[in-house]
Structure 1
Amino acid sequence: MGFTSENTAAHHLHAILSRIQGSNASSYAAGWGLALGAEWGSLEFSKKHSEIVNLLTETVQQLNALPERPRNRYLRYVPSWWTAVIQPVASWTDTNRPAVQIIKQDALDHLESAADIIAGTLAGSDAAPRSADLVAMKQQCGEWLDLLNEIDELELNGPVRDQLVAQIEHLIWLIDNVEMFGGARVAGEASRVVGSLAQAGATLTTSDPNTASRWQKAWFALIGICLVFNTGAPVVQESITSGGELFKEIAAVVQSFEADEPSAPPVE
């Protein structure tokens, strides 16, 4: 897939709420179940709905990165979006509250407008990644799982390793569900994984040079993939020591990925 401007958390939050509103379901619970493709009350439902909450959280964070006028204009609608996602007062299973009532149309329209502003203003960051191709990132995640499962507990603390595995498996799950949660959610989680791996790598105690070399190369490769996907995600940039050998090695990885990437279609 090539560049898409509708890759933000706000776009995908809007898509989910629109799906619920237009579902003709007899209750909020039924509407959510249809939109998420999961049974109300199930573990899958809870997991997917939690990610929708993350979409809202990221949307609010990204609104705060906008210039003052649009930021203040759209922040006024955050309580309406939060109420639609959480429904703290209404019973979700009340059949007297059909799904069409989950959010007012003007609040939904402003959410879509906010998404377009975020996409235009923050393009190229992990808030609005320019690419939609996640094949390389998923493949690299698989290689990280192989590496972590092969590392001895004496080299990397067991709980640290288990947490890294859980984070990477969650990133793979987000990639597999990118149509629902979007590229921005994947990009944000990938940046967090990069940070966690950096911290764990600093505590890695190994006398095996092969393990250390594999860790370093895998870390560089994941950063390179993130940079290509996001075109410079802020969290990843903070991990780079400008002008140092680390930067040069990462830059070489990025160039190799860019050379392999097909040209993206022009933005209309």
Structure 2
Amino acid sequence: MSFSNENTAAHQLHMLISRVRSSSQADVALAWSEVLDAEWGSHEFARRHSEVVALLQMTIRQVTALPERARTRCERHVDAWWFAVIQPLINWRDTNRSPLSIIDDDKLDHLESTADLISGNLVGSDAAPRSADLAGIADRCNEWIELLASLSESEIDGPVRDQLISQLRHLIWLIDNAGLFGGARVAEEASTVIGSLTQTGASLVNVRDENVNRWKKALLAFVTACVVFNQASPILQQSITAGEGLVREIASVVEDFHDQG
């Protein structure tokens, strides 16, 4: 699996809208169904189209991080991109409205230009990760699922564990579907998972010492995989070092919590 350096939510959104727009299907619903490879009206369709909305949300948020003049130019077109994804004023099954009508060339071109601006200004961050290697993050997710499943009810509340496992499985699903939703969506979700694992780790009070150590090591491995994915070479070693430093700080907070408990 490979990505270009222009691996942003906006690039992925542009690609998906372009595919829908150029579809030969009779209506918008079938065009989205074709592009997302999911049956219209199904749970899987809803799940996948929700991720398209997430790409739009990320794009809008990242536009606000652009320099002022670029941000002002891009924000003029946000409503057109939202209409292309949602189509609130038409019946998606109306065969008199072809998929070509969801957005005009000019607004679609502005979306691609915005993607390039985001890539140029935010490259190497979650918004525009450099790397194409998602296997490391997927491996760390599976290791975390095994670790969480091995903890007893006295060490972690069942609902907390189930929620963490659900997040990890969703991240794996995003990695499996990175061809549709892209690496930036993976990077954002991975950051959310790191936050959840860190917060949970700091709040656990009855975990056995050996499992505390497993938690710390697993968190280090996860953060390192995510940092490497975002930054990639030629600053691989610096990224790993930065990731280790971050996790040492996190681990220190977790340890202080346990000592106080």
Fold in common (TM above 0.5)? yes
Distance 1:32 1:146 in 2: 36
- Could you list the structure 1 runs, at least 4 aligned residues long, displaced by more than 3 angstroms after superposition: 240-245
Q: 1:130: how far off?
A: 0.6
Equivalent residue of 1:126, what SS? Answer: coil
Using the alignment, how far apart are the partners of 2:90 and 2:223 within structure 1?
44
Segments of structure 1 that go 5 or more residues without pairing to the other structure are 250-268
Quote how far apart the aligned CAs of 1:245 are.
8.4
Q: Tell me by how many angstroms 1:4 deviates.
A: 2.1
Matches of 1:93 and 1:111, distance apart in 2:
25
- When normalised by structure 2's length, the TM-score is 0.88
CA contact (8 A) 1:21 1:101 kept: yes
Instruction: Report what 1:127 is aligned to.
Output: 127
Distance 1:231 1:174 in 2: 19
Shift of the alpha carbon at 1:244? 8.2
Which whole-Å CA distance do the structure 2 matches of 1:242 and 1:78 have between them?
Answer: 38
Alignment match, 1:246: 248
Corresponding position of 1:16: 16
Aligned equivalents of 2:225, 2:61: Cα separation in 1: 24
Q: CA deviation at 1:205?
A: 2.3
2:9–2:127: 8 Å Cα contact kept in structure 1? yes
How many pairs does the alignment contain? 244
Aligned partners of 2:14 and 2:108 also within 8 Å:
yes
Instruction: Provide the aligned C-alpha RMSD in A.
Output: 2.3
Residue type of the alignment partner of 1:193: V
- Report matched runs for 1:219-258 at 5 Å: 219-231=219-231, 246=248
Q: 1:96-135 maps to which residues of 2 (within 5 A)?
A: 96-135=96-135
For 1:16 and 1:22, locate their aligned partners in 2 and report how far apart those are by CA, in whole Å. Answer: 10
Change (3 A) 1:29 1:202: same
1:44-193 superposed matches below 5 A: 44-193=44-193
Output one character per residue of 1:16-39: Cα deviation in whole Å (capped at 9) or x when no partner: 000001112111101101110111
Q: Percent identity?
A: 53
**Aligned pair in 2 of structure 1 residues 3, 79: CA closer, same or farther (>3 Å)?**
closer
**Counterpart in the other structure of 1:200:** 200
Residues 149/6 of structure 1: CA separation in 2 closer, same or farther (3 Å cut): same
Residues 157-209 of structure 1, C-alpha deviation per residue, up to 9 Å, x if partnerless?
11111110110000000000001000000000000000000000011223521
Distance 1:248 1:96 in 2: 57
Larger fraction in helix = 2
- Taking a change above 3 Å as real, the CA distance of residues 96 and 76 of structure 1, as seen in their structure-2 partners, is same
| SS in structure 1 of the partner of residue 167 of structure 2 | helix
**Greater Cα offset, 46-55 or 157-166:** 157-166
Q: Secondary structure at the match of 1:91?
A: coil
TM score, norm. by length of structure 1: 0.86
- C-alpha deviation, 1:231, in angstroms: 2.1
